[in-house]
Chains A and B, each alone.
Chain A
């Protein structure tokens, strides 16, 4: 059990050797690590999923205006728009991912899965997946467990924090969790689940964390929507048994390598990318108090 969540290869061989499913391995791991009861794990997952759905519903009904004003009820606008550019399901997916993430930006209650900056992705995708395919809550919770297993490995091999690995570490990881969960819930094989993760990571690699004014608003909210879309596109590719070519463990390692070589201005410091644009700077001046003293480094030699 010890090495299970250090690699996808390890997770797979553990499942094959013990003739258990991917989600059962995650439960066994959690029980062995945390001395918990299986019953409590299911209750915790049910609670998390219901908070996720609440966030979607809240974002589509309550007022979602952030203190900065950059977030201003966009999810509702998308949901109600008369023209569906692709399909009504797609329109709902995008608006739900936006909705849950707007709740987060407006200091509401969310599940950080894996982080709050990416807290719209699993709610948007799983809510929509359940609706389209008529899946039971139990099936969705199993998908969440697989998502948790995916995140545990990414945390070991790379990072989940924007400040360490850029946006790829946050929305990329959440999209990978969602994509793996989608394929798993729809009955995909272990290889197909892992291919969905690998393909999603390939699509999200290199994404920098450049939040305007340092707030978790722009571009975070729209990136939750695009990550939700990528989770579905990767799932569609993987479930058709198309290979990612580069194995999933190596994709995660690439993400870690890119994250560690990324300059710090692209790691949540609000000093590069969109945050450094003319408009980004103007917004920053308007919404942030400017008299923050930056002292010299007290440990410099």
Chain B
């Protein structure tokens, strides 16, 4: 888990019931995922795992995930009627359930989202009290909480990449809270996930984006 919890994770979030794991956390997972995608999706396949597999419907997690995909906050009364609003916005969705996936946390959701030509797969875990961990993005380990400012960079596996990226961020006068790098193989694409204490400037994001060895950059400011 990335950033340590604070007061308002314990006395909060303010949310629509009934369950912080099944409603608020689920909304947050979806809101993080649409930021990875870059907007409200056209289509969504939502897979509920383990504890979620049997109970998601009774807890209203189905309404919560659709509400989150529409970017509703955890205390938005529209969550109750998110299916109707999804229809209005042209979001097509369906649900799947998978039990006994021992490799996953008890409360895990996989989101396969599309928007135009863009496709992403995000795996999120609802840790309780509305706190989340985004475990994977497109098969790369991610492990961020979306509570701080997060930078996700997919880049060629070049030497010095980690030092370079962290030195650019250092110029922004923000601290790196966590940084993880994973790759699918030697000289394959590497995925850098960096959680920062505060935001960075658009010009810096544009600069990083302009580098040829950086293939994709996603910046997620804290989501609420």
Chain A residues within 8 Å of B, Cβ to Cβ = 5, 26, 30, 33-35, 41, 44-45, 47-48, 51, 68, 103-117, 119, 122, 144-145, 147-148, 151-152, 155, 159-164, 169-170, 177, 211, 213-217, 264, 267-271, 287-289, 292-300
B77 within 8 A of partner (CB): yes
B15 within 8 A of partner (CB): yes
Q: Please, which residues of chain A bring their CB within 8 A of the CB of B59?
A: 214-216
Contact B10 A151 (CB under 8 A): yes
Contact B128 A162 (CB under 8 A): yes
**Contact A104-B51, Cβ < 8 Å, known A35-B197, A111-B12, A289-B57:** no
**Contact A41-B101, Cβ < 8 Å, known A35-B197, A111-B12, A112-B129:** no
Residues 117-134 of B, flagged 1 when their CB comes within 8 A of A and 0 if not, give: 000000000111110000
Contact B54 A45 (CB under 8 A): no
Contact A107 B55 (CB under 8 A): no
Residue in A47, A107, A211 whose beta carbon sits within 8 Å of that of B17 in the complex: A107
- Chain B: CB-nearest residue to A119: B17
How long is the Cα–Cα vector from A116 to B12 in the complex, in angstroms?
Answer: 9
**Contact A109-B75, Cβ < 8 Å, known A33-B6, A51-B14, A148-B7:** yes
Q: How many A-B residue pairs have CB under 8 A?
A: 194
Residues 38-57 of B, flagged 1 when their CB comes within 8 A of A and 0 if not, give: 00000000000011011101
B23 within 8 A of partner (CB): yes
Residue in A155, A163, A217 whose beta carbon sits within 8 Å of that of B5 in the complex: A155
Residue in A44, A110, A117, A294 whose beta carbon sits within 8 Å of that of B97 in the complex: A294
Residue in B6, B10, B96 whose beta carbon sits within 8 Å of that of A114 in the complex: B10
**Contact A161-B107, Cβ < 8 Å, known A110-B15, A114-B129:** yes
Contact A294 B17 (CB under 8 A): no
- Chain A: CB-nearest residue to B198: A35
Q: Please, which residues of chain A bring their CB within 8 A of the CB of B13?
A: 111-112
- Chain B: CB-nearest residue to A292: B97
Residue in A122, A162, A270, A300 whose beta carbon sits within 8 Å of that of B54 in the complex: A270
B8 within 8 A of partner (CB): yes
How long is the Cα–Cα vector from A48 to B98 in the complex, in angstroms?
Answer: 36
The 7 A-B pairs of least Cβ separation, nearest first, read A161-B128, A214-B55, A104-B17, A151-B10, A216-B18, A112-B20, A214-B58
Contact A116 B106 (CB under 8 A): no
How long is the Cα–Cα vector from A35 to B103 in the complex, in angstroms?
Answer: 35
**Contact A105-B11, Cβ < 8 Å, known A161-B127, A163-B51, A267-B51:** no
Contact B128 A160 (CB under 8 A): yes
- Of the candidates B19, B51, B55, B102, the one having the most CB atoms from chain A within 10 angstroms of its own CB is B19
